[in-house]
Amino acid sequence: MIQKENFWSDREKAQTILKEKNILENQLSSFLILNKEHEELTELIKITDENDEKLINEINKNTNELIKKVKKKEFESFLSGEADSNGCFIEVHSGAGGVEAQDWAEMIVRMYTRWCEKKKFNFEILEENSGEEAGIKSLTMKVQGSYAYGWLKKESGIHRLVRISPFDSNSRRHTSFASVWIYPVVDEKIEVNISEKDLRIDTYRASGAGGQHVNKTDSAVRITHIPTKIVVQCQNNRSQHKNKATALSMLKARIYEMQLQKREQEQQSKNESKSEIGWGRQIRSYVMHPYKMVKDLRNNTEISNCNSVLDGNIDVFLEAALFKK
């Protein structure tokens, strides 16, 4: 197909095909490399003198490293869903509690942006509603990277923080909540049909950081999908046209995610978990006082180093959620 003369006539389609080709080539290459390492280690073990302690230690070290690599590839085999290889959108909303909850929502955004940086994934803020004093009320960001959606898709839910509040002059312990929702970027290989008559499109002045322009023109766009009541908005571009195109892309992604959930027969539980950002709905607790512990309540994965988790080291939770599935 790539050799065809008209391959580049549709650039977007061509880039999608090349992306799939690169993913398959990388998977095959990784398998061949691991297989070769295994064969070489096996041969080395056969000819090694049992009294050669130095060589035995080296073999043990190389074997352990190979096991880690194989386990990583095993994990990647779980990322085989229809949209797992795509990028994703992350929505974060603060729960009730004013500045305390808004600060927590901003901490979660930082956690995901640091995770993206560690993975060398690109991300951009599409919409941000800042808190009056500190933190954020809501934020939407787009993440582009290989298997970004596959990695993050199980992060949707309520995240709970327990800490001594830096905003409380009496240094009392507070509990805060924020919701996280993940949905995939929809590319051209995934069809989502949206009728124009089902849309309500509003424009408004952008808020937050962005220079003088944001407060002078109605460039921000909000789209409501009337049948599903899904609302998306974008304000990161100066062009209203570009913001509308991005918002439509987000809407398609949200509708597609809903279809995925129906296929997996999880829509009812998903709706229930969205009904309230508060007690009893959380998927993960981040406790910073009176002890330090981050615990995923779905699979009991625990880490005592809260600061490390909030600094973006969340792979252990992502892997545990996918392995459980």
**CATH label of the domain that carries residue 204:** 3.30.160.20
Model confidence, pTM:
0.72
pLDDT at 287: 96
**Is residue 24 in a domain?**
yes
Count of domains observed in the chain: 2
pLDDT at 211: 45
Q: Which domain does 221 fall in, by range?
A: 196-232+241-257
Q: 197: closest CA among 224, 234, 220? A: 224
Q: Are 21 and 2 in contact (CB under 8 A)?
A: yes
**Is residue 221 in a domain?**
yes
Q: Which residues fall within 8 angstroms of residue 56, CB to CB, at 6 or more apart? A: 48, 50
pLDDT at 281: 67
**Dihedral of CA 262/228/275/162: which sign?**
positive
DSSP state of 99: H
**Is residue 62 in a domain?**
yes
Q: Which residues of the chain have pLDDT under 50?
A: 210-215, 267, 270-271, 275
**Is residue 65 in a domain?**
yes
